[in-house]
Amino acid sequence: MNRFFVEGAFEVGQRAGLTGADAYKLTSVLRAAPGDRVEILDGHSRRFTGIVREVGRDRVEVELTAALEEGQREASLAITLAQGIPKGQKMDFVVEKAVELGVRRIVPLVSERTVARPEGRDGKVERWRRLAKSAALQCGRGYVPEVTAPLDLDAVLTLGAAHDAVLMPWELAEPRPLRERLDEIGAGRRLLVIVGPEGGLSQREAEQARVAGAHLISLGPRILRTETAALVLMAALYALRGEL
């Protein structure tokens, strides 16, 4: 059964309107007709079965017929990933896989060594948001993780106040096991993870982050690519908490 997200809170018996790309997919790709069944997830992570009632050119009306119960798919570990923007389409890969792993929020990071600097008119952020939505649907998550506008390091570090700990992998950090470091930090359940771009974070940026309260951590003796570092660290964090 095809699954779609809708904004807002709904109840059984109400109708949800699908517009934009979702309406196009139903009408032009799936050739939906009244009576077809779909699955709907609302903005409060509630899941419903629905029946298509009206098919218009730009809008499809779905009646919500039953609420569905399912096992918990969201990790209790809430990770915000501030990812240094890599060149080419590597950010697409990071967004997609981070959402599959369970990340709650993705913040594209512009730092000293960032080469790719997306601007509002180039559509990259909207593309990343579409990828996040598609990945969330594919892996059965209850909501779409937010992809913010790009921020610089100063702005990202201010986000740390809303988290229990800020973790920054850095190739010059003291080489100690991650489990040992997390036990020492007492990291909690709300984590901000900052990963640099190709070329890494500079000495100045690492010191700035440390002074702001970030914990500089090692990911082992080998220097990982930026897209690898982000996914390795998140997978390790979820695994160490028993959520992977």
Architecture of the domain whose range is 3-68: Beta Barrel (2.40)
How many alpha carbons lie under 13 Å from residue 161 in its C-beta half-sphere?
A: 3
Average pLDDT value for residue range 151-176: 93
| CATH entry 1.10.260.40 includes domain 78-240 | no
The pLDDT of residue 186 is 78
Average pLDDT value for residue range 12-21: 91
Residue ranges, comma separated, of all CATH 3.40.1280.10 domains in the chain are 78-240
Q: Does the pLDDT value for residue 222 go beyond 90?
A: no
The pLDDT of residue 142 is 74
Of residues 127 and 184, more confidence is placed in: 127
The pLDDT of residue 74 is 74
Residue 73 pLDDT class (50, 70, 90 cuts):
low
Residue ranges, comma separated, of all CATH 2.40.240.20 domains in the chain are 3-68
CA 14/CA 188 separation, integer angstroms: 39
Name the pTM for this structure. 0.77
Cα-trace Rg, the chain: 20
Q: In this structure, how many other beta carbons lie within 10 angstroms of the beta carbon of residue 39?
A: 16
In this structure, are residues 197 and 114 in contact, taking their beta carbons and an 8 Å threshold?
yes
Q: What sign has the CA pseudo-torsion 168, 173, 178, 183?
A: negative
Kindly report, residue by residue over 39-66, the tens digit of the pLDDT.
Answer: 888 877 788 899 999 998 889 999 999 9
115-133 b/e (C-beta count within 10 Å ≥ 16 → b): ebebeeeeebbebbbbbbb
In this structure, are residues 10 and 48 in contact, taking their beta carbons and an 8 Å threshold?
yes
Average pLDDT value for residue range 25-48: 86
Residue 72 pLDDT class (50, 70, 90 cuts):
low
Work out the percent of the chain whose per-residue pLDDT is above 70.
96
Tokens representing residue 94 in the block: 């990071």
Kindly report, residue by residue over 228-237, the tens digit of the pLDDT.
Answer: 999 999 999 9
The pLDDT of residue 207 is 94
3-state secondary structure 168-187: EECCCCCCCCHHHHHHHHCC
Kindly report, residue by residue over 105-148, the tens digit of the pLDDT.
Answer: 999 999 988 887 776 556 899 999 999 988 988 887 877 899 99
